[in-house]
Amino acid sequence: MRVLAFGTFDYFHAGHESYLKQAAELGDQLVVIIARDETVQRIKGQKPDHSQRKRLKVVKSLPYVYKAAIGNRSDKFKVIKQFKPDIIALGYDQFVFTYQLKKILIANSMDTKIVRLKPFKPEINKSSIIKTQKCTAEEEIIIAA
């Protein structure tokens, strides 16, 4: 069974690892789609700190990832049609683009199951929190110097 997962994966952390491992356990082929830099900019209001190529390289290196690719520029749902997953694994906090998923699956006559996965310590494992902590630590170093 092919499982499809999506994410930005800027500052790859234990929450991302938990999400992808949970997704991998749902089937025998985990395909991960990395958000394009411009998509992240549009959704989060700022570009990720790590380029889409760097983020792709990190995810591709994971032993439980069968394939990783960068999302389609013009049609966000094209990857679903391309990879024809049996399951789409969503993180507990993924809601952008997900409201239309069932419609897309029905319109393309796909019998794909959508599974929402459990968080792993979301109070500390979020890229925005980790990024803020990193910036604060860098500011403290500059001030101390």
Per the structure, the count of domains in the chain is 1
pLDDT digits (tens, 9 = 90+) for 29-55: 999 999 999 999 998 898 999 999 999
List the Cα angle 105/16/128 in 5-degree steps. 105
Q: Which domain holds residue 47?
A: 2-144
d(CA 101, CA 73): 17
Q: Say which CATH number the domain at 72 has.
A: 3.40.50.620
User: What is the percent of the chain with per-residue pLDDT over 70, rounded to a whole number?
Assistant: 83
d(CA 10, CA 128): 9
Q: What is the pTM of this model?
A: 0.82
